[in-house]
């Protein structure tokens, strides 16, 4: 009978209190029962307590706007503009205010669009769990769980809330994310004593931990921010640990802060020494500081990432965070499993071979009895609809041969089970026939099962080798009589009688060979990590063109020290019969060589390696733990889709670096020129409002950079942030820009005999033209336009901005902005100077890149990275997150 909520029932319990009480008493206090809550009760509690979430992925415009306004330079400039308004310079103050508002607005619009794109991506990934409601099992979203729900746990799942366990079958949970304990913790249902440490609450399954072995059922006692994992995630805040791309942005920003500080201070001191008005000197200095800073860099990056994410989504690639696209482009080595990646992943049962190697149905019968398939009829092995389980069990049940055995299977009743784990590589059951005869059945990897058999016929060994050589997957079945047995443990898997082999087909995937060749062209080395037999793995890889001269096994990995194993990894493509720990060790050692490593996996045994990799990649159909450990999700398990993602990551990085290199060099040159002009001229070379307008127009044109084409060589290899390269680029190309600025000064003074308004107009147009058009030289290492074509939006944006700048001094706004119409001869001179400038930049570019060394680096993701990754599953679109209770829950 389904429990109903009674007045006085508590709505949640602390895990320490729940662990100290018997399971039945906890059920009673939460107004629940073993059949779970009713749908009405669950909805009432959800409305009362809020969703089972610790994060929100809603795009919030106030937060985006705050990021635009938090620049100290912008704030100081705005304050100074207000001060100048009250000091008698209202026109300059209003012009500066309008330009600042336009700049902030432009950045806000683009970043908010990127946030909305990220929100849309996040909404496509949903996590679900099985709960008992209204007396029946049903699948619900993790965020809809409430205290009192009864949840079923299975191998590879993430525990969706803090649970008081009410039944377990060999259940073990990996709790290192919370307790720091590396070994899985065995779980039980008996209560623990009061004041027991968190790591010793054996009757509690903690939210965010992983089911490593067995299965169980638990009662939800706390959700969201009230759960132990939720408390930790909330304490870490919303901010994720930095990616390598974000670290590069931060280091680059610090470089600009130092350069801006030196230039601003120097220019201010020069102007004060020359007895210019303090307000004008301060505004001019601050405008210089803002001018050297690429204000719209966050908008350009966000626009690039948002556009990339939309393209990736069309190619069936979802990124959990937009910045992960950049990391995906860095990949140099990809470790992947075999099933579903190199093979079709649609496993089909082919035949059953008896102990003599002949086709027979007895091994199939034992294989169907010894399984972990999920059946909606309550687990009756003789019938019902199979709705879940591992692929091999599903293939058995869905085979035509299985339908002929249903009547025989109904004669058996399962008494006990030892679930499959990746150390034993075996599952065993204790069954009883309707005549009382009891039997232990074991099924698993042939090497593991045969090692537990008392005797194996020679014909069986020969048949097994033949199937492996053909590239087929094989499972062995064995039995032992067990009269009077009532329980089953791994120790009972001994002295077995070999019963036969189950042969499955998983052919190489069509197109996998082409995808591997494409990855190779992108400079990515693919290596295979599989738990399958070495001969099978080698056969599949050889058929697809991967080198298989040497195959390492788990035994080889165990026998080699780290130094020796690192050498073997470099020479090996296929690793077979390896454990989860082996996978993680191989990934870590490969990363120590300085290479960027991605790992593609979808099983519970892949989670450790996913965490160890630079980029964790999984698929939408993967186990919960694999999806939560991954940074990138593929909607189809296809290496061609992954190659598309790598290309997008590299294109985004290439386009971002175009903006950074161009902006820093040209801005630095202009500001360096301004500092020199302050010494030579008796007036400010450009008004603060003109500097800001120049910067706004220039940055506006660069918002088209995300649409730009990338040269093949920019996509062929990963690129990394190098602040030293940016500094060298700025110091090398900036002075070239300044040469033409000083040439402009000379022409304006000597040829046109310009006063302050005409001088400022000429320099405004020249500086805008040179720093905007130089993108066409800097965007490629090739000869621009002839061997590398920019995108049409970028071309139109750059030419449009230069045209606007050239026309401004002749418009009605000229007087307001402090401009004066320019003579026609100036524009002829300008065209000549731009051509010479771009030619000189082209010559300098080839010399500069010849002397540029490659960049190398190594990183370790911090422990907090795992918490943030896993917290993403407990995320809702709304902003109403559950808060920790202000008072303790009701006590008896």
Give the residue numbers annotated as catalytic, written as ranges. Answer: 337
Q: How many CB atoms lie within 10 A of CB 391?
A: 16
DSSP 238-259: SPPPPPHHHHHHHHHHHHHHHH
Taking alpha carbons only, the member of 256, 278, 259, 260 closest to residue 269 is 278
Which sign does the torsion angle of CA 357, 362, 366, 367 carry? positive
Question: How far is Cα 102 from Cα 693, in angstroms, rounded to an integer?
Answer: 10
> Which residue in the block uniquely carries the two structure tokens 């402009």?
744
**Half-sphere exposure in the Cβ direction for 736 (13 Å, CA):** 26
**Half-sphere exposure in the Cβ direction for 396 (13 Å, CA):** 29
Is residue 606 within 8 A of residue 599, CB to CB? The reply is yes
Question: How far is Cα 370 from Cα 203, in angstroms, rounded to an integer?
Answer: 28
What element of type H or E holds 237? Answer: none
Query: Tokens for 331?
Result: 């990949």
Is residue 889 within 8 A of residue 13, CB to CB? The reply is yes
Is residue 106 within 8 A of residue 699, CB to CB? The reply is yes
What's the Cα-to-Cα distance from 554 to each of 247, 543, 597, 677, rounded to whole Å? 36, 23, 20, 70
What's the Cα-to-Cα distance from 581 to each of 321, 536, 764, rounded to whole Å? 27, 21, 62
Taking alpha carbons only, the member of 277, 314, 320, 284 closest to residue 96 is 284
Question: How far is Cα 578 from Cα 154, in angstroms, rounded to an integer?
Answer: 23
> Residues 380, 385, 390, 394: what is their CA dihedral angle, to the nearest 10 degrees?
110
What's the Cα-to-Cα distance from 560 to each of 334, 337, 579, 586, 665, rounded to whole Å? 22, 22, 15, 11, 50
Strand order in the sheet with 551-553: 317-319, 632-634, 615-619, 597-600, 333-336, 525-529, 574-576, 551-553
Q: Which residues pair with 152 in a beta bridge?
A: 130, 217
Is residue 819 within 8 A of residue 95, CB to CB? The reply is no
Q: How far apart are the first and last CA of the chain?
A: 25
Is residue 442 within 8 A of residue 493, CB to CB? The reply is yes
Taking alpha carbons only, the member of 186, 710, 870 closest to residue 489 is 186
Q: Which residues pair with 433 in a beta bridge?
A: 412
Is residue 527 within 8 A of residue 333, CB to CB? The reply is yes
Question: How far is Cα 598 from Cα 591, in angstroms, rounded to an integer?
Answer: 10
Is residue 319 within 8 A of residue 325, CB to CB? The reply is yes
Residues 6+ apart with CB under 8 A from 707: 307, 791, 793, 794
Which sign does the torsion angle of CA 292, 298, 302, 303 carry? negative
Q: Which residues pair with 186 in a beta bridge?
A: 172
Question: How far is Cα 215 from Cα 204, in angstroms, rounded to an integer?
Answer: 13
Taking alpha carbons only, the member of 260, 265, 267, 290 closest to residue 679 is 267
Is residue 686 within 8 A of residue 748, CB to CB? The reply is no
Give me the numbers of helices (H) and strands (E) for the chain, helices first please: 35, 26
């Amino acid at each position: 009978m389904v429990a109903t909520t009674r007045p006085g029932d508590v709505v949640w319990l602390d895990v320490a209190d729940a662990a100290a009480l018997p399971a039945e008493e906890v059920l009673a206090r939460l107004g629940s029962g073993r059949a779970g809550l009713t749908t009405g009760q669950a909805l009432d509690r959800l409305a009362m307590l809020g969703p089972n979430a610790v994060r929100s992925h809603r795009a919030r415009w106030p937060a985006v706007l705050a990021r635009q306004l938090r620049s100290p330079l912008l704030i100081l400039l705005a304050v100074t503009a207000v001060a100048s308004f009250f000091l008698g310079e209202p026109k300059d103050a209003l012009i500066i205010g309008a330009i600042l508002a336009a700049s902030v607005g432009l950045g806000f619009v683009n970043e908010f669009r990127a946030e909305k794109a990220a929100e849309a991506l996040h909404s496509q990934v949903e996590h679900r769990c099985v709960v008992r409601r209204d007396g029946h099992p049903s699948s619900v979203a993790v965020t809809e769980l409430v205290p009192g729900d009864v949840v079923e746990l299975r191998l590879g799942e993430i525990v969706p809330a803090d649970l008081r366990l009410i039944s377990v079958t060999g259940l073990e949970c990996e709790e290192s994310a919370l307790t720091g304990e590396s070994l899985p913790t065995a779980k039980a249902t008996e209560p623990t004593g009061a004041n027991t440490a968190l790591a010793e609450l054996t009757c509690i399954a903690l939210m965010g931990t992983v089911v490593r072995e067995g299965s169980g059922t638990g009662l939800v006692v706390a959700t969201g921010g009230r759960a132990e994992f939720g408390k930790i995630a909330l304490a870490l805040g919303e901010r994720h640990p930095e990616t390598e791309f974000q670290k590069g942005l931060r280091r680059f920003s610090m470089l600009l802060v130092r350069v801006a500080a030196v230039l601003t201070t120097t220019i201010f001191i020069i102007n004060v020494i020359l007895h210019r008005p303090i307000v004008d000197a301060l505004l001019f200095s601050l405008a210089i500081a803002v001018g050297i800073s690429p204000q719209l860099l966050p908008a350009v990056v966000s626009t690039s990432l948002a556009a990339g994410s939309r393209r990736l989504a069309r190619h069936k690639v979802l990124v959990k965070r937009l910045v992960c696209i950049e990391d995906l482009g860095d990949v140099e080595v990809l470790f992947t499993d075999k099933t579903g990646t190199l093979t079709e992943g649609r496993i089909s049962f082919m035949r059953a071979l008896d102990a003599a190697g002949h086709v027979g149905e007895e091994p199939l019968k034992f294989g169907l009895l010894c399984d972990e398939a999920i059946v909606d009829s309550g687990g009756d092995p003789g019938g019902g609809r199979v709705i879940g389980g591992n692929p091999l069990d599903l293939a058995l049940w869905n085979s035509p041969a299985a339908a002929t055995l249903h009547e025989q299977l109904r004669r058996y009743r399962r008494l006990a089970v030892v679930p499959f784990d990746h150390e034993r590589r075996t599952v065993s059951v204790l069954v009883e026939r309707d005549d009382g005869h009891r039997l232990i059945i074991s099924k698993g990897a042939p090497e593991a099962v045969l090692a537990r058999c008392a005797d194996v016929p020679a014909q069986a060994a020969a048949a097994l080798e033949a199937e492996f050589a053909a590239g087929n997957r094989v499972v062995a079945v064995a039995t032992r009589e067990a009269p009077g047995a009532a329980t089953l443990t791994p120790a009972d898997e001994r002295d077995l009688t070999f019963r036969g082999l189950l042969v499955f087909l998983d052919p190489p995937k069509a197109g996998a060979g082409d995808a591997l060749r494409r990855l190779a062209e992108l400079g990515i080395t693919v290596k295979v990590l599989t738990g399958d037999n070495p001969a099978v793995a080698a056969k599949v890889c050889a058929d697809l063109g991967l080198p298989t001269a040497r195959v390492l096994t788990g035994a080889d990995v165990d026998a080699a020290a780290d130094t020796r194993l690192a050498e073997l990894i470099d020479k090996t493509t296929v690793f077979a019969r390896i454990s989860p720990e082996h996978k993680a060790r191989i990934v870590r050692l490969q990363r120590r060589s300085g290479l960027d490593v991605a790992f593609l996996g979808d099983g519970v045994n892949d989670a450790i390696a996913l965490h160890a990799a630079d980029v964790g990649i999984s698929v939408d159909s993967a186990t919960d733990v694999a999806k939560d450990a991954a940074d990138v999700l593929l909607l189809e398990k296809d290496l061609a889709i992954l190659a598309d993602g790598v290309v997008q990551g590299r294109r985004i990085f290439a386009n971002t670096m175009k903006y950074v290199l161009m902006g820093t060099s040209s801005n630095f040159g202009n500001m360096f020129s301004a500092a020199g002009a302050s010494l030579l001229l008796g007036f400010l070379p450009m008004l603060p409002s003109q500097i800001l307008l120049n910067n706004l127009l220039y940055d506006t044109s660069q918002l088209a950079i995300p649409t730009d084409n990338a040269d093949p060589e920019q996509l062929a290899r990963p690129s990394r942030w190098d602040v030293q390269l940016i500094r060298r680029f700025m110091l090398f190309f900036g002075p070239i820009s300044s040469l033409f600025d000083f040439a402009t000064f000379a022409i304006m003074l000597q040829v046109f005999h310009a006063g302050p308004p005409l001088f400022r107009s000429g320099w405004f147009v020249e500086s805008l033209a040179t720093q905007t058009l130089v993108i066409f030289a800097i965007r490629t290492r090739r000869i621009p336009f002839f061997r590398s074509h920019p995108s049409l939006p970028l071309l139109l944006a750059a030419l449009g901005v230069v045209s606007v700048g050239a026309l401004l001094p002749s418009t009605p706004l000229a007087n307001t902005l402090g401009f004066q119409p320019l003579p026609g001869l100036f524009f002829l001179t300008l065209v000549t100077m731009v051509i010479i400038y771009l030619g000189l930049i082209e010559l300098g570019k080839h010399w500069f890149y010849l002397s540029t060394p490659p960049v190398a680096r190594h990183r370790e993701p911090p422990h907090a990275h795992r918490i943030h990754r896993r917290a993403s599953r407990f995320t809702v679109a709304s902003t109403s997150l559950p808060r920790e209770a202000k008072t303790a829950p009701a006590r008896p």
